């Protein structure tokens, strides 16, 4: 229901073609048309019969954008039936992008490919200044996401752009008599000017005027089946998490004036001992707090393989299975955390204790309803510790906080406090590892880039983040337990490529050594969410100054890459946060040890406790996939032909005090050891994933170089 009294029941049906900007459009519609409420339905969730039953409940329809072509039945779904409605069911429709293309085809227009596809590109539009474009100034800026174009057929053209390669391209049209309007550009993009987005408000006005003149049967109640296939916007969270009253009391010891480094603290609390260990390390700006999860034989570890219907809980040397039944692993984790709620920690600390670990990329693929690629020898897809004891280091003040949420844990706190005040002897560095690098085949990678560009030219996707896996085979001159090797490796990586979301994890047989610059999602105890996608990479090196990097990163190609992901992330956050999502940094240039990156920041608010629901909804990270997300994931699976595993997944924590922080697992290497992460071995194989966003403007050689540069940030530590 809308918000302003008399007109509050104006209902819009938004038909979604599996796009990744749909919730941005829902938000724009809801805020631009006074008193309107928006429901979202997938274009293949209903047939023509149900469509006809549904329409009398609605006042207008918006046909959203999407991948593919309006000529393909599986891409466009039920939409063409709208253009053929009989008068008694007829109602106003606004088509966007794929929506305009479908409308034009229905009324004699023809479809062809653009010579120069326009994805995330901004163009000034010329228009008729009336009708849908009333009060829109000439030259208003519009963001475009299309490879296909249409001729208007019997539609009345309302707006155009002039492209260098393609000449005049239709940007807006209406049917001469029926209440059908459409635009080719995306009014909901963050870089479309306010003016150009005014068309949605105008549509609301025109639609009301038309309805006054053409009264139709309108019903107050929807069909009983409607809730099965429609969601009101904002969408409901898939995970229902309602925390119980706090039962865990946080005990904290503050230790000041120690001047210990993060590796020194880790060495004191067990990084060089066998067993599970986790460090989430803010090793560079803008990170601040580093978190060490301290384990003991009572520590619970939870693992799950997405091909299984159970979760395994490991404790001490034992394990038990818990069947998932009809729930998902996400619900299981929400249930687990519901009864583990902590209070009494220091407000300024983001973490008091809670789940720490990772989710694989394929976990996200599965929640998109895409069949994931699976590898038999893989690491668990979900691998999390419930850390009751932790140490947090504030890099700004140097203060160290020792925390426990176990009852009566004063002895442990005192013990750690005591241990911290005794400086550890520096650990001798191990000899550098010499490994054999199995680089991916360059020709295959270049072919995949070209294939990806073909998909983009066909309109199947707007941007594809193509990745590949490299393996490093290391043989050791003398056998040593794995955990000593990996801890040494982490320290080298930390020194050579310090990163704000660095991580070192030993979880059962799985080891992750990471130096990610990218935060996926954080949420605080009040529900404020922040996402920090990166898109746009420039290698540092001789002569590469900030000015030069800026010159490269400010080109339309890099800006488009970043903008597409910003719009996608806005959608992911709008889904649960509703209105009020803001882009607080658009394409800021950030410096890292080996690269310059273009970084955007998107913020919004959900109710306290709903952050985990955002993690589930927004996963896998848009920056690792491209847009639209679902179709891009499918295409990438076809191109890459092997699972990504932990790479491209997320690692971080969900605090029992309410907050969470998860980074994108990139610039990292992994290893899975059957005998356990601390087994003695004389050879090991590390996997490293790397890749980059492919657009129609990408140069295949340059993309290969970018992938190798990203790989290099990890390889340098491996020797």
Ligand X SMILES: NC(=O)CC[C@H](N)C(=O)O
- Tell the residue number behind the tokens 């490879």, with chain if given: 147
604 binds, among ligand X, ligand ISJ, none (CB under 5 to 8 A by kind): none
Q: How many CB atoms lie within 10 A of CB 593?
A: 16
Q: Establish if 43 lies at the interface with ligand X (CB under 6 A).
A: no
| Residue 509 site contact among ligand ISJ, ligand X, none (CB < 5 to 8 Å, cut-off depends on kind) | none
Q: How far apart, in Å, are the Cα atoms of 505 and each of 259, 276, 489, 610, 615?
A: 24, 8, 12, 26, 20
Residue 647 and residue 666 in contact, taking contact as beta carbons nearer than 8 Å:
yes
According to the binding rule CB under 6 A, does residue 185 interact with ligand X? no
| Lookup: tokens for 90 | 């007829």
Decide which of ligand X, ligand ISJ, none touches 280; Cβ closer than 5 to 8 Å per partner kind.
none
The reply on whether position 623 binds ligand ISJ by CB under 6 A is: yes
Least distance to ligand ISJ from the beta carbon of 382, Å? Answer: 21
Backbone angles phi, psi at 290, to 5 degrees: -105, 140
CB of 507 to ligand ISJ, least distance (A): 22
Which of 387, 692, 704, 717: binder of ligand ISJ (CB under 6 A)?
Answer: 692
Beta-strand pair 650-655/660-664: antiparallel
- Identify the CA nearest to 360 among candidates 378, 345, 344: 378
Known catalytic residue: 253?
no
Contact predicate 556/121, CB 8 Å: yes
CB-nearer residue toward ligand ISJ: 251 or 467: 467
Q: Which two tokens stand for residue 51?
A: 């469509």
Cβ of 154: how many Cβ atoms within 10 Å? 13
Nearer to ligand ISJ, 59 or 558 (CB): 558
- Backbone torsion region of residue 391, taken as left when φ is above 0, otherwise alpha when ψ lies between -120 and 50, otherwise beta: beta
Residue (143 or 688) nearer to ligand X, CB: 143
Residue 121 interacting with ligand X (CB under 6 A):
no
Find where tokens 């054999």 sit. 436
The 10 Å CB-count burial string (b at 16+, else e) for 335-360 is: ebbeebbbeebeeebbbbbbbbbbbb
Q: At what angle do helices 442-458 and 629-640 cross, to 10 degrees?
A: 150
634 annotated active-site: no
Query: Considering CB distances under 5 to 8 angstroms, the limit depending on partner class, which of ligand ISJ, ligand X, none binds residue 660?
Result: none
Stretch that binds ligand ISJ, among 139-147, 149-157, 233-241, 684-692 (CB under 6 A): 684-692
Residue 146: which of ligand ISJ, ligand X, none does it interact with, CB under 5 to 8 A by kind? ligand X
| DSSP count for the chain of H helices, then E strands | 17, 37
Active-site residue, from 23, 36, 97, 266: 97
Candidates 127, 146, 304, 605: give the one binding ligand X (CB under 6 A).
146
Find the catalytic residue in 127, 146, 175, 186: 186
Shortest distance (Å) from residue 360 CB to ligand ISJ: 15
Under 8 Å CB-to-CB from 527, ≥6 apart: which residues? Answer: 605, 606, 607, 608, 609, 610, 611
Q: Is 666 in the site for ligand ISJ (CB under 6 A)?
A: yes
Binders in 47-86 for ligand X, by CB under 6 A = 65-68
Q: Which one among 459, 498, 620, 657 touches ligand X, defined by CB under 6 A?
A: 459
Structure tokens at 37: 């409420």
Min separation Cβ 282 and ligand X, Å: 38
Q: Is 186 a catalytic residue?
A: yes
Strands 10-16 and 36-42: parallel
Q: Which one, of 288, 292, 379, 687, lies nearest residue 513 by Cα?
A: 687
Buried b (16+ CB within 10 A) or exposed e, 508-538: bbbbbbbbbbbbbbbbbbebbbbbbbbbbbb
Site residues (CB under 6 A) for ligand ISJ, limited to 624-643: 624
Q: Is 148 in the site for ligand X (CB under 6 A)?
A: yes
Shortest distance in whole angstroms from residue 467 CB to ligand ISJ = 5
- Smallest gap from Cβ 502 to ligand ISJ, in A, equals 14
Q: Does the footprint of ligand X cover residue 695 (CB under 6 A)?
A: no
Q: Which does 67 bind (CB under 5 to 8 A by kind): ligand X, ligand ISJ, none?
A: ligand X
For ligand X, the closer CB: 231 or 463: 463
Tell me: does residue 145 bind ligand X (CB under 6 A): yes
Structure tokens at 162: 């002039």
Minimum CB separation from ligand X for residue 154, in Å? 21
Query: Given the DSSP bridges, would you call strands 230-232 and 248-249 parallel, antiparallel or unpaired?
Result: unpaired
Shortest reach from residue 118's CB to ligand ISJ, in Å: 19
- Alpha-carbon distance 516 to 286, whole Å? 12
Residue among 710, 714, 717, 718 that touches ligand ISJ (CB under 6 A): 710
Q: Does 534 bind ligand ISJ (CB under 6 A)?
A: yes
- Indicate the DSSP class of residue 640: H
In the Cβ-directed half-sphere of 504, how many Cα atoms lie within 13 Å?
A: 33
623 binds, among ligand X, ligand ISJ, none (CB under 5 to 8 A by kind): ligand ISJ
Q: Please give the Cα distance from 645 to 631 (Å, whole number).
A: 19
- What the block records as the tokens of 631 is 């179709």
CB contact at 8 A, 485 and 685: no
d(CA 274, CA 677): 8
Position 532 contacts ligand ISJ (CB under 6 A): no
Backbone phi and psi for residue 46, each to the nearest 5 degrees, phi listed first: -145, 150
Distance CA 53, CA 60 (A): 14
Q: Which stretch binds ligand X (CB under 6 A): 143-151, 230-238, 303-311, 403-411?
A: 143-151
Residue 145 interaction partner, one of ligand ISJ, ligand X, none, beta carbon < 5-8 Å per kind: ligand X
> Of 69, 467, 468, 594, which one interacts with ligand ISJ (CB under 6 A)?
467
Look at residue 147 and give the partner it binds from ligand ISJ, ligand X, none, a contact being a CB closer than 5 to 8 Å depending on partner kind: ligand X
> For ligand ISJ, which is the closer residue by CB, 204 or 517?
517
Q: Which stretch binds ligand ISJ (CB under 6 A): 43-51, 168-176, 453-461, 691-699?
A: 691-699
Other CB atoms closer than 10 Å to residue 563's CB: what's the count?
Answer: 27
How far apart, in Å, do the first and last CA atoms of the chain sit?
A: 61
Stretch that binds ligand ISJ, among 53-61, 489-497, 532-540, 626-634 (CB under 6 A): 532-540
Residue of the chain from 101, 184, 198, 537 that contacts ligand ISJ (CB under 6 A): 537
Distances (CA, A) of 477 to 434, 471, 682, 717: 9, 19, 7, 18
Candidates 627, 667, 704, 714: give the one binding ligand ISJ (CB under 6 A): 667
> Is 690 a residue that touches ligand ISJ (CB under 6 A)?
yes
Choose from ligand ISJ, ligand X, none: what does 65 bind? Cβ within 5-8 Å by kind.
Answer: ligand X
Q: Is 590 helix (H, G, I), strand (E, B) or coil?
A: strand
Residue 536 as a binder of ligand ISJ (CB under 6 A): the answer is yes
Q: Which does 690 bind (CB under 5 to 8 A by kind): ligand ISJ, ligand X, none?
A: ligand ISJ
Between 459 and 517, CB nearer to ligand X: 459
CB nearer to ligand X: pick between 11 and 121: 121
439 vs 139, 468, 711, CA distance in Å?
Answer: 48, 9, 10
Helix H or strand E segment including 24: helix 22-32
Paired sense of beta strands 595-605 and 582-591, if any: antiparallel
Decide whether 118 or 366 has the Cβ nearer to ligand X. Answer: 118
Interaction of residue 626 with ligand X, rule CB under 6 A? no
Task: Find the catalytic residue in 23, 119, 175, 188.
Answer: 188
Q: If binding is defined by CB under 6 A, does position 187 make contact with ligand X?
A: no
426 to 465: interface string for ligand ISJ, x by CB under 6 A: ---------------------------------------x
Binding residues vs ligand ISJ (CB under 6 A): 465, 467, 518, 534-537, 623-624, 666-667, 689-693, 710
| Residues in touch with ligand X (CB under 6 A) | 65-68, 97-98, 145-148, 459
Active site residues: 97, 186, 188
């Amino acid at each position: 229901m809308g918000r302003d009294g008399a007109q509050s029941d104006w209902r819009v049906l938004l038909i979604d073609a599996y796009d990744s900007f749909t919730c941005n459009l829902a938000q724009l519609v809801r805020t631009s048309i006074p008193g309107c409420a928006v429901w979202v339905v997938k274009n293949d969730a209903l047939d023509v019969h149900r469509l006809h039953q549904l329409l009398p409940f609605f006042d207008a329809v918006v046909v959203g954008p999407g991948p593919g072509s309006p000529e393909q039945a599986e891409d466009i779904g039920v939409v063409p039936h709208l253009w053929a409605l009989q008068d008694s069911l007829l109602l106003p429709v606004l088509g966007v992008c794929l929506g305009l293309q479908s409308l034009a085809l229905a009324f004699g227009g023809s479809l062809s490919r653009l010579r120069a596809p326009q994805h995330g590109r901004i163009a000034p539009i010329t228009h008729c200044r009336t009708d849908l474009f009333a009060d829109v100034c000439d030259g208003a800026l519009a963001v475009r996401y299309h490879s296909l174009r249409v001729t208007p057929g019997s539609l009345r053209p309302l707006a155009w752009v002039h492209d260098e390669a393609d000449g005049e391209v239709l940007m807006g049209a209406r049917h001469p008599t029926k209440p059908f309007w459409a635009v080719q550009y995306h009014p909901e993009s963050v870089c479309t000017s306010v003016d150009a987005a005014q068309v949605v408000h105008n549509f609301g006005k025109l639609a009301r005027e038309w309805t006054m003149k053409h009264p139709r049967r309108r019903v107050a109640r929807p069909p009983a089946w409607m809730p099965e296939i429609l969601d009101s916007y904002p969408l409901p969270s898939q995970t229902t998490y309602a925390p119980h009253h706090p039962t865990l009391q946080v005990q904290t010891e503050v230790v000041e004036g120690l001047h210990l480094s993060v590796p020194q603290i880790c060495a004191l609390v067990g990084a060089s001992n066998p067993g599970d260990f986790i460090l989430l390390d803010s090793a560079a700006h803008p990170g601040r707090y580093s978190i060490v999860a301290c384990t003991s034989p009572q520590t619970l570890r939870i693992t799950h393989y997405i091909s299984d219907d159970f979760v395994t809980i490991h404790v001490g040397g034992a394990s038990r299975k818990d069947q998932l039944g009809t729930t998902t692993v996400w619900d299981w984790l929400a249930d687990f955390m519901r009864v583990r709620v902590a209070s009494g920690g220091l407000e300024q600390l983001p973490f008091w204790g809670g789940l720490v670990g990772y989710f694989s990329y394929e976990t996200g693929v599965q929640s998109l309803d895409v069949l994931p690629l699976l590898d038999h020898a893989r690491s668990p897809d979900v691998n999390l510790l419930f850390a009751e004891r932790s140490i947090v280091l504030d890099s700004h003040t140097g203060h160290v906080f020792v925390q426990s949420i176990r009852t009566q844990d004063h002895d442990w706190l005192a013990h750690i406090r005591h241990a911290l005040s005794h400086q550890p002897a520096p650990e001798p560095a191990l000899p550098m590892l010499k490994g054999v690098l199995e680089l991916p085949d360059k020709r295959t990678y270049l072919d995949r880039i070209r294939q990806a560009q073909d998909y983009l030219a066909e309109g199947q996707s707007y941007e594809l983040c193509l990745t590949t896996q490299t393996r490093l085979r290391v043989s050791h001159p003398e056998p040593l337990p794995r955990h000593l090797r990996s801890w040494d490796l982490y320290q080298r990586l930390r020194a050579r490529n310090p990163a704000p979301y660095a991580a070192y994890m030993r979880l059962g047989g799985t080891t992750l050594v990471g130096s990610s610059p990218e935060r996926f999602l954080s949420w605080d105890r009040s529900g404020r969410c922040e996402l920090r996608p990166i898109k746009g990479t420039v290698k540092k090196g001789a002569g590469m100054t900030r000015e030069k990097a800026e010159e490269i990163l400010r080109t339309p190609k890099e800006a488009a890459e970043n903008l597409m992901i910003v719009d996608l992330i806005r959608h992911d956050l709008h889904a649960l946060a509703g209105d009020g999502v803001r882009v607080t940094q658009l394409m800021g240039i950030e410096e890292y040890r080996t690269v310059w990156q273009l970084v955007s920041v998107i913020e919004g608010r959900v109710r306290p406790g709903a952050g985990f629901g955002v993690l589930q909804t927004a996963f896998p990270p848009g920056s690792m996939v491209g847009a639209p997300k679902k179709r891009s994931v499918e295409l990438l699976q076809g191109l890459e032909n092997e699972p990504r595993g932990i790479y491209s997944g997320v690692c971080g924590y969900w605090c029992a005090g309410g907050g969470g922080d998860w980074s994108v697992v990139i610039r990292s290497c992994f290893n899975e050891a059957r005998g356990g992460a601390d087994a003695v071995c004389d050879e090991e194989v590390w996997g490293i994933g790397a890749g980059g966003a492919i657009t129609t403007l990408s140069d295949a050689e340059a993309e290969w170089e970018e992938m190798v540069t990203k790989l290099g940030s990890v390889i340098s530590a491996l020797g």
